[in-house]
Structure 1
Amino acid sequence: MKAFYCSSIAALVLLSGCAGKSAKPGSQSVPPGVLALTPPAKGDPAQRLTTLLASEWQRWLVDHPEEASLTGDHRYDDRWTDMSLDAIEARHVADAAALLKLLEIDRERLTPAGQLNFDLYRQQLERDIEAYRYRGHLQPINHLGGVQTSDQLAEALQFETVLDYENWIRRIRGIDAAVDQSIVLLRMGLAEGRTVPKVIMKRVPPQIDRQLVKKPEASPLYTPFLKFAPGVPEDQRARLADAAKAAIRDSALPAWQRLKDVVAKEYLPKCRDSVGASELPEGRDAYAFAARTSTTTNLTPDEIHDIGQREVTRIRGEMEAIRKRVGYQGDLKAFFTYLRTDPKFFYRDGPTLLSAYRDIAKRIDPELPKLFGKLPRLPYGVRAVPEASAPDTHTAYYQPGAADGTRAGNFYANLYKPGSRPKWEQEALTAHEAVPGHHLQISLQQELVSDAGGTLPAFRSQISFTAFVEGWGLYAESLGPEIGLYQDPYSKFGQLTYEMWRAVRLVVDTGMHAKGWSRQQAIDFFKANTPRAELDITNEIDRYIAWPGQALAYKIGELKIKELRARATAALGSKFDIRGFHDVVLGSGALPLDILERNVDTWIEQQDGGVIVKLRGTP
């Protein structure tokens, strides 16, 4: 997943904004004076929790206006997240104050549902507060995102009324301040030795160049005005278009030029040559924290590295079996080259590639009731990654629909250089990003709140634990044989390729960020164990460099879900119901893996004759 959903704690640690004055790792992260902000708690614990969570949700919407827009709350459609130092500090103080208020509530007097809400919000606050220590806000830009990719928000928004367009014009004008805030943070990062690795920062100036157009109407920010919605009166369209051009000319273009000058002349030349997070101040602690929070486990980087090596060995064995099955005479390395290069495995053009993805999705949809008792109401589409971002974007991503149901979810497929997008990966990729993967899981989570009749706090529709969300996506790939996929052995090999990809991630991410591996070492290990195209491999490795720890979550989450399924099958035998199992896994939204395990164990015990059998050898 990408764009506005794929935010994990790893990003909070090393990319996004939370900080103020630096705190030493291991020190108390609650700012002085916060204790005075929270008077002794009184009243009913359930009511206090409800009130706190409702208030905190409103704070979150105000603090994250882009996310508010994506959830369908349009009160803040005219602004960007405030990344000034004062605002960053204020958000941290508010997080600490909220945690103290939460801890004053007697958890034991809450219902099980209330305790779950309590536990989830506590974990969210604690991880955000701890992330504050590592000053990740001083790396506000890399090739995966930053102010220079602000136009991508428009791709996800609905433009239907005059006000929608007027709000976007205000956002265009706001680019000016957003750029200046990013420049302040970049310069502070330089001063403190907290820079983005040079190898990935080199990708940023071309992204800014795409914003530096000669005519405002050629700007990516102007895209919504190229075709007005039917609901916009004809006599308003010229006014809106002219205002957008003026905002781009007078605010955005000068800001982009300032950013380009700072990045290309001042920042990039002084970026670090190293790629590992451990090279940053407090980097080892930051990466260990990223590993724990990304996986929602207590696994260390060394333990994760070892799990990855074991999984790579296992999956290679299954790949060898398929190589022999199709009668290929060369070794696995030669087979990889064959799969990467033979023209029969590729489409010649983007539209045909996109059509193939859509056909796969249509084949999967009617098979879903076999595996799920509850399916989401929200539809989804299959779209192309925007051309402007496609060269620097990985193979595909999912963008959720609006929580209010006004916008469908979308699976975005990268059509850039179709000769590097093999047919054999398409079924696994569709299963991961669309159904039964991200669209199914995320849409069900969004519907939890609306279906709860107001009894479920709104934050539950948006909370994300990457190990669960991406673990589910990878587990969804493994469901292919149960819904008619992978009939072709090459497509099955594609599924193994994607599983290997996630196992390799455990090795190369920890290798670069904890064990001193170079970028080239990581690329070579990736190439030796997967048939993915070199363009994809390079983009993936650079993603791991930019987003330390996030990639660890996929395989660890998948292994846990498979472990729980095996446990339930062993406990229930012939009474095991796959639809019931999947419904309980997805029925509470995204969860830390320990809470997911608790839920599944409870479900097993509630089934007739269920006896929990703990299996060994899994994380």
Structure 2
Amino acid sequence: MRKKCTALILLLSILLPALASCGHLPVPDEDALFRQFTLDLFRQEVSADTITLHYTVQEPESYGIQDTPASLGSFSTDTAVSAASIENCLSLLQDFRYRKLSPENQLTFDVLKSYLKTALLGAPYTLYEEPLSPLTGIQSQLPILLCEFSFDTPEDVDTYLSLLEEMPSYFTSLISFEQAKADAGLFMSSRNAQDIIDECAAFTALGDSHYLFSSFISRLEGLSDLPPVQKEACISQHRDLIYDCVFPAYNRLAAAIAALKDTGTNDGGLCYYPDGKRYYEYIVKRDTGSARTVPQLQNLTRRQMAEDLSAMQSVAPLSGEDSSFALADSSPEAILADLKEKTAGSFPSLPEVTTEIKFVQEEMAEYVSPAFYMVPPVDNSQENVIYINRGHLPDDLTLFTTLAHEGYPGHLYQNVYYASTDPDPIRSLLSFGGYTEGWATYVEMLSYYFTGIDEDRALLEQKNASLILGLYALADMGIHYDGWSLTETVSFFRSFGITDIETIREIYDLIIGDPGNYLKYYIGYVEFLELKKTAVKEWGEDFSQKRFHRAVLDTGPAPFEIVEKAVKEKK
């Protein structure tokens, strides 16, 4: 799972510099004006909170960003301000003369315009959003982001400690947001509320063995500019802040959620909320990047599942002897090196980078995704980190394909490659989950054929993995768009041979708590398959895997309509 703290949410008016205010000065061309506009927008948005700034740029000064106060941000319920901000930015964007822009800037224009128009659709639904979703919510993400907050200078340590001091006020803002949701009849289901309460309790129960302590000491040790006596003082201050600010903030959040636990009016899909079906349509558009309607996506999913089933039926079923798989070297580092070598012929080459593998603390394994990639700053993509949750990776085959998803040629590869094209910085703040997770899932499926296992076995494993994701996608749309109950969801999975009630209940709760999440992976993946069909048709004999991959990677994260246009123009 690709981690990024925030996307571009509230866009304030930006006045273009009066570069041509004096008649005797040369009038800047449209490209220069446009790049100034996107740079101003980037500076404003990336400075909105310290986590976003720190994770997006390593050297803010090189972007003209200085003296930003330490802040975790806050939560707003003002839909009118949100809508007005987006409309203002759209108006400024559309003032540019599109045909006067370079092809690169036209692409940035198209992507930004699409992003803003989609964001405008979601502006009325601010209180429908859920920042405390299972696995991917703030309560899970923020500790990891704090653990990975790099210490390049002593000032970074001061900033980090200031952020810990901000935790009580930040969580107060979060609690106020959840209370506003409850007042509007939009609070989460009681089961999901209990999951959040349990997760907060597990977080604080770690006490002195908490990973925030060990990670802080480890980062301090790597900072040579800080004398030992100051390091000891920082460690003492850090301990006080964890016990005085961080743990109490989580305890307050748990207590607030417990008080609101039974205020939810809906334990079912989004379609049971007022205007909930329209909100779900917005989520699907935002999270998949697909222009298709929900019914069209349901048909696309069923068609792909039928193709997968047909392919599975074309080969002999696995025997018991065929079902085992063991790697000669199952270390993550060895697997990544193997993947990098085996995929080189089908993917464009990358600059050399370093990759550090870290493991999720065992006590938190239940509440964290199976693995995730930490997106590096736009001005330093050489240092990369992948987290592995060993509690969710039961065998070598799962580990291999998961590292393909997170590493080569998945998230790490895609991010490093795109950074090497030197894109407009604003593109780094525009989140397109369908592209990023779709790409990672697409290459994860390809990775089954790089494992070295028998070709028929690889096909069966890959198609089975694709089918399971397709089932989750159909269930997501069925629950939130068609209003499936738990009973109907059980019947659906049983029709595909999945009969364990507790497993289905867990899937149902995850889908209820994080609408559209599975669609990012599956619909994004299938849209890449559809793009490949388009490329084969358009390019004919000139088609190659490497050429196709280069075309979509050069375009970068974007809605699939824009990626398709770019592919067709590569003819």
Output the TM-score relative to the length of structure 2. 0.85
State the match for 2:144 in structure 1. Answer: 152
Structure 1 residue 160: Cα displacement? 4.3
State the match for 1:375 in structure 2. Answer: 350
Structure 1 residue 195: Cα displacement? 1.0
**Higher RCO, 1 or 2 (CA under 8 Å, sep at least 6)?**
2
Q: CA separation in 2, counterparts of 1:77 and 1:523?
A: 50
Aligned counterpart in structure 1 of residue 388 of structure 2, from 400, 403, 413: 413
Q: Once the two structures are superposed, what CA deviation does each residue of 1:25-46 show, in whole Å capped at 9, x if it has no partner?
A: xxxxx99xx8x98999986432
Aligned counterpart in structure 2 of residue 474 of structure 1, from 424, 433, 441: 441
SS at match of 2:298: helix
State the match for 1:23 in structure 2. Answer: none
State the match for 1:27 in structure 2. Answer: none
Q: Once the two structures are superposed, what CA deviation does each residue of 1:221-241 show, in whole Å capped at 9, x if it has no partner?
A: 434334332323211122111
State the match for 1:50 in structure 2. Answer: 35
State the match for 1:332 in structure 2. Answer: none
Q: Does 1:298 align with 2:265?
A: no
Q: CA separation in 2, counterparts of 1:423 and 1:512?
A: 33
Contact kept? 1:364, 1:435, Cα under 8 Å:
yes
State the match for 2:275 in structure 1. Answer: 282
Q: Does 1:205 align with 2:197?
A: yes
State the match for 1:446 in structure 2. Answer: 419
Q: Once the two structures are superposed, what CA deviation does each residue of 1:386-439 show, in whole Å capped at 9, x if it has no partner?
A: 434320234333222332326633333321166xx2444333323222211221
Q: CA separation in 2, counterparts of 1:562 and 1:273?
A: 36
Q: CA separation in 1, counterparts of 2:494 and 2:239?
A: 46
Q: Does 1:432 align with 2:405?
A: yes
Q: Once the two structures are superposed, what CA deviation does each residue of 1:331-371 show, in whole Å capped at 9, x if it has no partner?
A: xxxxxxx97xxxx67x9xxxx99945443322111123201
State the match for 2:564 in structure 1. Answer: 597
State the match for 1:247 in structure 2. Answer: 241
Taking the TM superposition and a 5 Å limit, the aligned residue runs for 1:7-406 are 44-73=29-58, 78-85=70-77, 92-136=83-127, 139-149=130-140, 150-213=142-205, 217-227=208-218, 228-230=220-222, 231=224, 232-264=226-258, 266-322=259-315, 324-327=316-319, 355-405=330-380
Contact kept? 2:147, 2:212, Cα under 8 Å:
no
Q: Once the two structures are superposed, what CA deviation does each residue of 1:55-81 show, in whole Å capped at 9, x if it has no partner?
A: 110111112432221123466583212
Letter of the 1:368 counterpart: T
Taking the TM superposition and a 5 Å limit, the aligned residue runs for 1:501-516 are 501-516=468-483
SS at match of 1:246: helix
SS at match of 1:545: helix
SS at match of 1:411: strand
Structure 1 residue 184: Cα displacement? 0.8
Q: CA separation in 2, counterparts of 1:487 and 1:381?
A: 31
Structure 1 residue 158: Cα displacement? 1.8
Q: CA separation in 1, counterparts of 2:403 and 2:309?
A: 23
SS at match of 1:397: strand
SS at match of 1:151: helix
State the match for 1:499 in structure 2. Answer: 466
* 5+ long unaligned stretches in structure 2: 21-26, 61-67
Q: CA separation in 1, counterparts of 2:465 and 2:310?
A: 15
Say which is worse superposed, 355-364 or 280-289, in terms of deviation.
355-364
Q: Does 1:587 align with 2:554?
A: yes
Q: Does 1:569 align with 2:536?
A: yes
Change (3 A) 1:301 1:581: closer
Change (3 A) 1:41 1:319: farther
Contact kept? 2:354, 2:384, Cα under 8 Å:
yes
Structure 1 residue 328: Cα displacement? 6.4
Letter of the 1:204 counterpart: I
Q: CA separation in 1, counterparts of 2:161 and 2:551?
A: 44
Q: CA separation in 1, counterparts of 2:163 and 2:500?
A: 38
Q: CA separation in 2, counterparts of 1:327 and 1:184?
A: 56
State the match for 2:23 in structure 1. Answer: none
Residues paired across the two proteins, number: 553
Change (3 A) 1:490 1:391: farther
Letter of the 1:200 counterpart: N
SS at match of 1:373: coil
Q: CA separation in 2, counterparts of 1:442 and 1:522?
A: 36
Say which is worse superposed, 530-539 or 281-290, in terms of deviation.
530-539
Letter of the 1:583 counterpart: R
Change (3 A) 1:417 1:502: closer
Change (3 A) 1:144 1:214: closer
SS at match of 2:387: strand
Say which is worse superposed, 198-207 or 308-317, in terms of deviation.
308-317
Structure 1 residue 560: Cα displacement? 3.1
Change (3 A) 1:540 1:236: farther
Structure 1 residue 163: Cα displacement? 2.4
Letter of the 1:71 counterpart: T
Structure 1 residue 102: Cα displacement? 0.8
Structure 1 residue 529: Cα displacement? 4.2
Structure 1 residue 518: Cα displacement? 2.5
Aligned counterpart in structure 2 of residue 463 of structure 1, from 423, 427, 430: 430
Change (3 A) 1:253 1:570: closer
Q: CA separation in 2, counterparts of 1:519 and 1:123?
A: 35
Change (3 A) 1:66 1:560: same
State the match for 2:4 in structure 1. Answer: 4
Q: CA separation in 1, counterparts of 2:347 and 2:286?
A: 29
Letter of the 2:160 counterpart: W
* 5+ long unaligned stretches in structure 1: 19-29, 330-337, 450-455, 605-619
Letter of the 2:364 counterpart: S
Structure 1 residue 385: Cα displacement? 3.0
State the match for 1:552 in structure 2. Answer: 519
State the match for 2:63 in structure 1. Answer: none
Q: CA separation in 2, counterparts of 1:96 and 1:64?
A: 22
Q: CA separation in 2, counterparts of 1:368 and 1:327?
A: 29
Q: CA separation in 2, counterparts of 1:177 and 1:355?
A: 44
Structure 1 residue 573: Cα displacement? 4.2
Contact kept? 2:381, 2:419, Cα under 8 Å:
no
Contact kept? 1:500, 1:529, Cα under 8 Å:
no
Contact kept? 1:354, 1:384, Cα under 8 Å:
no
SS at match of 2:221: coil
SS at match of 1:309: helix
SS at match of 1:124: helix
Q: CA separation in 1, counterparts of 2:390 and 2:457?
A: 21
State the match for 2:65 in structure 1. Answer: none
Contact kept? 2:147, 2:216, Cα under 8 Å:
no
Q: CA RMSD in A?
A: 3.6
Q: CA separation in 1, counterparts of 2:486 and 2:69?
A: 40
Q: CA separation in 1, counterparts of 2:365 and 2:515?
A: 22
Change (3 A) 1:66 1:531: farther
State the match for 2:24 in structure 1. Answer: none
SS at match of 2:47: helix
